[in-house]
């Protein structure tokens, strides 16, 4: 019994599998980095040189000040008791600090502006590109993984563009500068204090990497927790209905504990970091004092040079530490940019010819000639379909689930291209027609109506963004949606959340009809809702349909008897092939597949 329970629990937990984009770092790749940094190109004559200039000023000032203090203030002005020189030096140091402050302020401001602009451009480029990709691209990916790339991956590049690149430049100059100055001041002392270099190197690379990986693990668990929370809240009604709260809770508890544990490990490692850095600095200072003191005693070094040394040594840690950080950012940037470029390199499978045909007037005559189509290599969805839909006709597509009805509708809108054969609109191959012209002439009403967040009026206006309020209302009136909209709290201005939860299924259907009517297309493709609705709404929808279809070519994936009966032509599909066609009477007399389908539906209705 216990075993059974454990197995059941394991089965339940198997369900909770969330794909997280695990790869956070990738090896350095020059080609990819150059491509990434090409996004800085538009700013190469404005923000970039300005920021670089500010970096050079700040770095130069930081390198000069210790020399001024040690060699000139201490060894010259104070030793020679030269008050005039001392005043000039103090004024110069104060001036340099002010200059460095202003330059730093401007550097941060311009670099942030540059970083944000690059991220803005990159996000825009990616979104525009993804929006134009073909349906096949979206078939193969979850909405979540696309969102992650547009948001998280691009955000993770932000730090690289705002600080990383410019810090790299600043730190390299600073390190070379410090080394050169230290060597020119005292080569022996430089070599002596360099004993701390390997420890610093270890801290800024290995230890830091280790800490960073631990934080990445925390983030992975947090994102798993987020995914689970998201699914739990979205599916709460189903969870409660199937009394799965306990199983849900046990999974939540598991991930919650994992998140907590990973956080504990990461913060423990993190706690080691600062004390170790301070210890290293202390070792460096000890070597400096011990060795420096003997050099001063031998009179091979002045106090001023010793003080300058101390200043430079204090400055040494910062660039080394930051270089390690930039390297990490680059590796993370490689992984993010690889994922972003993978999307950007994706070409739309359905594309427009250069000399695409612009259609002035469309009659709406559609013809399929030997159309074969497969979504993937394994299965063929349409196996040589020949059909004709005359302009203005209503054609119903019927058949068992998976028989190819939606596929035919998808091909008419050219969401996919046929694997072989051709589809003609008013005698022109769809591939020759401008995509925009084609899709503007077609309205698609899906089974599950998509309601966008916004007002009811906005949702109807989606069919024609230039429509006036009167035109929106007229469309709603023609469809018979006006009265229920008027009864909503703010009428046409009622806000509906995404997916239109405050509306009933039938009301959502009517809105989608009004939306399609407002677009005034020549061709309507309609996937009839299968949801059962009350007779009154059914009548309303049927009347609305009549208005919508009048004078247009209509392709209906039909589920309702009333719609099928009134169609001019009924196409019966089975496993991607047309097995019968004709009007209702003709097909009933044939007593074939259609007759069986209708009989089954009729029996079902009677049973209800």
Out of 158, 394, 403, 569, the only residue in the binding site for ligand ATP (CB under 6 A) is: 403
As measured in angstroms, the least distance from the Cβ of 602 to ligand ATP is 19
Contact with ligand ATP (CB under 6 A) among 404, 463, 506, 521: 404
Question: What is the rounded CA–CA span in Å between residue 413 and residue 396?
Answer: 16
Closest to ligand ATP by CB, 395 vs 485, is 395
Element (H, E) at 512: helix 505-519
Query: Is 304 a binder of ligand ATP (CB under 6 A)?
Result: no
CA distances to 157, 326, 352 from 219, rounded to whole Å, are 16, 20, 42
* Stretch near ligand ATP under the rule CB under 6 A, chosen from 178-186, 217-225, 405-413, 511-519: 405-413
Structural Rg of the chain based on CA atoms: 36
The yes or no reply on residue 414 touching ligand ATP (CB under 6 A) is: no
Q: What are phi and psi of 364, to 5 degrees?
A: 105, 30
CA 588 to chain centroid: 51
User: Please, which residue, 402 or 582, has the CB nearer to ligand ATP?
Assistant: 402
Q: Does position 139 bind ligand ATP by CB under 6 A? A: yes
Per CB under 6 A, does 600 bind ligand ATP?
A: no
Q: Whats the size of the chain, residue-wise?
A: 608
Q: How many CB atoms lie within 10 A of CB 7?
A: 10
The token pair at 37 is: 């940094």
Closer Cβ to ligand ATP, 35 or 400, answer by number: 400
Work out whether 177 is an interface residue with ligand ATP (CB under 6 A).
no
At 596, which helix (H) or strand (E)? Answer: helix 593-607
Among 407, 443, 449, 455, which residue interacts with ligand ATP (rule: CB under 6 A)?
Answer: 407
Which of 112, 406, 434, 583 binds ligand ATP (CB under 6 A)? It is: 406
Reference 95, options 125, 54, 61; nearest CA is 61
445 burial type by CB count under 10 A (0-12 exposed, 13-18 middle, 19+ buried) = buried
The reply to whether 405 sits near ligand ATP by the rule CB under 6 A is yes
Residue 375 touches ligand ATP, criterion: CB under 6 A: yes
Establish if 273 lies at the interface with ligand ATP (CB under 6 A). Answer: no
560 near ligand ATP, judged by CB under 6 A: no
Q: Rank residues 76 and 559 by Cβ distance to ligand ATP and give the closer one.
A: 559
Q: Does 402 bind ligand ATP (CB under 6 A)?
A: yes
Shortest separation between residue 140's beta carbon and ligand ATP, angstroms? 8
Q: Give me the phi and psi of 462, to 5 degrees please.
A: -55, -30
Strands 366-373 and 523-527 turn out to be unpaired
533: nearest Cα among 494, 507, 502, 562: 507
Looking at the Cβ atoms of 58 and 403, the one nearer to ligand ATP is 403
**Structure letter (DSSP) for residue 434:** -
Nearest CB to ligand ATP, comparing residues 405 and 461:
405
Q: How many residues touch ligand ATP (CB under 6 A)?
A: 13
Residue 421 — left, alpha, or beta (φ > 0 → left; ψ -120 to 50 → alpha)? left
Residue 476 backbone dihedrals phi, psi, to 5 degrees: -65, -40
Does position 381 bind ligand ATP by CB under 6 A?
Answer: yes
Looking at 38-142, list the stretches that DSSP marks H as alpha helix, in order from N- to C-terminal side. Answer: 47-67, 83-131, 135-139
Residue 473 near ligand ATP by CB under 6 A: no
Of the listed pieces 97-105, 266-274, 400-408, 495-503, which binds ligand ATP according to CB under 6 A?
A: 400-408
Is residue 151 exposed (0-12), middle (13-18) or buried (19+ Cβ within 10 Å)? exposed
Query: Closest separation between CB of residue 519 and ligand ATP, Å?
Result: 23
Out of 66, 324, 364, 399, the only residue in the binding site for ligand ATP (CB under 6 A) is 399
Which residues make up the interface to ligand ATP (CB under 6 A)?
139, 375-376, 379, 381, 399, 401-407
């Amino acid at each position: 019994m216990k075993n059974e329970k454990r197995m059941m629990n394991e089965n339940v937990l198997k369900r909770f599998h969330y794909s997280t984009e695990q790869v956070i770092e990738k090896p350095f790749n020059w080609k990819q980095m150059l491509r990434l940094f090409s996004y800085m190109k538009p700013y190469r004559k404005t923000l970039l040189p300005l920021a670089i200039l500010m970096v050079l000023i700040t770095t130069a000032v930081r390198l000069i000040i210790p020399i001024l203090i040690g060699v000139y203030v201490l060894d010259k002005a104070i030793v020679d008791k030269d008050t005039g020189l001392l005043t000039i030096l103090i004024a110069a140091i104060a001036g340099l600090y002010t200059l460095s402050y202003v330059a730093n302020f401007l550097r941060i401001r311009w670099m942030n502006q540059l970083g944000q602009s690059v991220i803005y451009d990159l996000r825009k480029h990616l979104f525009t590109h993804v929006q134009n990709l073909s349906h096949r691209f979206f078939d193969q990916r979850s909405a979540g993984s696309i969102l992650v790339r547009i948001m998280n991956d691009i955000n993770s590049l932000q730090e690289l563009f705002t600080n990383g690149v410019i810090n790299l430049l600043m730190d390299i100059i600073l390190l070379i500068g410090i080394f050169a100055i230290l060597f020119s001041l005292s080569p022996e002392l430089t070599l002596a204090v360099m004993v701390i270099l390997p420890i610093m190197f270890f801290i800024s690379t290995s230890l830091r990497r280790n800490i960073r990986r631990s934080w990445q693990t925390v983030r992975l668990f947090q994102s798993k927790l987020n995914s689970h929370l998201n699914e739990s809240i979205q599916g709460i009604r189903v969870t409660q209905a199937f009394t799965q709260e306990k199983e849900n809770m046990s999974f939540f508890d598991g991930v919650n504990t994992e998140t907590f544990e990973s956080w504990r490990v990461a913060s423990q490692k993190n706690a080691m970091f600062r004390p170790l850095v301070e210890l290293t600095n202390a070792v460096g200072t000890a070597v400096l004092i011990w060795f420096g003191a003997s050099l001063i005693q031998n009179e091979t070094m002045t106090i001023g040079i010793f003080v300058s040394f101390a200043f430079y040594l204090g400055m040494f840690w910062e660039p080394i530490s930051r270089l390690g950080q930039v390297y990490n950012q680059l590796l993370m940037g490689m992984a993010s940019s690889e994922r972003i470029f993978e999307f950007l390199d994706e070409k739309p499978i359905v594309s427009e010819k250069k000399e695409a045909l612009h259609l002035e007037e469309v009659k709406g005559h559609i013809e399929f000639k030997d159309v074969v189509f497969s979504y993937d290599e394994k299965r063929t969805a349409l196996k040589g379909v020949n059909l004709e839909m005359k302009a203005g006709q209503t054609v119903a597509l019927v058949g068992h689930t998976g028989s190819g009805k939606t596929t035919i509708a998808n091909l008419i809108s050219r969401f996919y291209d046929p694997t072989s054969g051709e589809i003609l609109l008013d005698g022109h191959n769809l591939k020759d027609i401008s995509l925009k012209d084609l899709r503007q002439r077609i309205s698609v009403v899906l089974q599950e109506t998509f309601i966008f967040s916004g007002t009811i009026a906005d949702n109807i206006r989606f069919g024609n963004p230039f429509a006036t309020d009167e035109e929106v209302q007229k469309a709603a009136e023609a469809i018979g949606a006006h009265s229920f909209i008027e009864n909503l709290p703010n009428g046409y201005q009622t806000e509906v959340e995404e997916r239109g939860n405050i509306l009933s299924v039938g009301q959502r259907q009517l809105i989608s009809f009004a939306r399609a009517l407002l677009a005034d297309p020549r061709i309507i493709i309609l996937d009839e809702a299968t949801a059962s609705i009350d007779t009154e709404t059914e009548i309303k929808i049927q009347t609305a349909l009549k208005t919508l279809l009048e004078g247009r070519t209509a392709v209906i994936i039909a589920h309702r008897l009333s719609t099928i009966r009134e169609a001019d032509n009924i196409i019966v599909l089975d496993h991607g092939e047309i097995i019968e066609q004709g009007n209702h009477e003709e097909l009933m007399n044939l007593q074939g597949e259609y007759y069986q389908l209708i009989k089954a539906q009729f029996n079902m209705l009677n049973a209800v």
